[in-house]
Amino acid sequence: MAQLTYRDAVHAAIAQEMRRDSNVLFLGEDIAAAGGVFKTTVGLLDEFGKDRVRDTPISEQAIIGAAMGAAMTGLRPIAEIMFSDFFAVCWDLVANQIAKTRYMTDGQCSFPLVIKSANGGGSRFGAQHSQSIENWAMAIPGLKVVAPSTPGDIKGLLAASIRDPDPVLFFEQKSLYATKGEVPDDEHVIPLGKAAITREGDDVSIVALAAMVPRAEKAADILSNDHGISASVIDVRSLVPLDTKTILEDVSKTGRLVTVEENPRLCGWGAEIASIVAEELFWDLDGPIVRITTPHIPLPSADALEDAVLPSTERIVKDVLKLVD
């Protein structure tokens, strides 16, 4: 078991799958000689060569169009969109072509491809480079949506995404790239659609994703140590497919649900989970469902303002205390 950074785990997953399957190739801006703008792909060009690790023009439409064509011919491309905000530039290809062509051809064309991207705030990149867009993606039938919170999950979930027969949008939370964690040295694959309970609790279930998971875990420690409140923390990991079984079982035990999401409040993924829990467990709930989100505003670049709008550990503790009291 190695200690790797989140960014190095991205490299480990891609290298593992490229060694395993010669049909896996990788394309995107500055991913080859430069090693990626976030240094997640250093060394891949040297190991796998220019035919399988390809720099592209600065054109999201070209990158995704090439990946779509490669997948249709039997290859397993990984395409990188540098910042997830730029999905807006190629959204027609993603939402109207890749997500729908398998259905529209009655399975004659399949799309075993991964589109990976740096997602979310916390790095002071401003409104056009800091959005969390996983809620855009989960609204489109035909796409799978994954957002890991740890280096170990990065390796295991990215490997599973590359092996999946369907298109997967894989979101790497950019403020987590420097964080470290244990990553298995040998082949590591985590099935998509399985949430992880990272803390067991009896009083409240806190459901979080990506960068919000370590904040929820820290909040759970404070709630336990300072207030005697026992909180479960559930790392969703995969929004599509969504592990409703794990979430419902835990909320049924605790009677309270808090979702912590980086998305703007309107139509965030937490609203979908809240809806499912309200329908399935209404009579098991001991209080209202609480959603902790970013306000429905463009994300500011000033450090104090960005910190003020993103869900914080302190805000999670405050809202849980209000719910439990």
Annotated catalytic sites, by residue?
A: 129
Is the CB of residue 147 less than 8 Å from the CB of residue 5?
no
- 126 CB contacts (<8 Å, ≥6 apart)? 299, 300, 301
Q: What's the one-letter identity of residue 8?
A: D
Q: Are 125 and 306 in contact (CB under 8 A)?
A: no
| Residue carrying structure tokens 């302190």 | 314
| Beta-sheet pairing, 238-240 with 144-146 | antiparallel
Please tell me whether residue 235 adopts helix, strand or coil conformation. strand
> What percentage of the chain's residues is helix, strand, coil (to nearest 5)?
40, 20, 40
Q: How far is CA 174 from the centre of its chain?
A: 11
* SS3 assignment, position 127: coil
Q: Is 206 exposed, middle or buried (0-12, 13-18, 19+ CB in 10 A)?
A: buried
Q: Residue 89 has which token pair? A: 């530039």
Per-residue tokens: 302 = 């000033």
Q: What contacts 316, CB < 8 A, 6 or more positions away?
A: 206, 215, 216, 219, 258, 260, 292
The dihedral over CA atoms of 173, 251, 196, 132, expressed in degrees to the nearest 10, equals -10
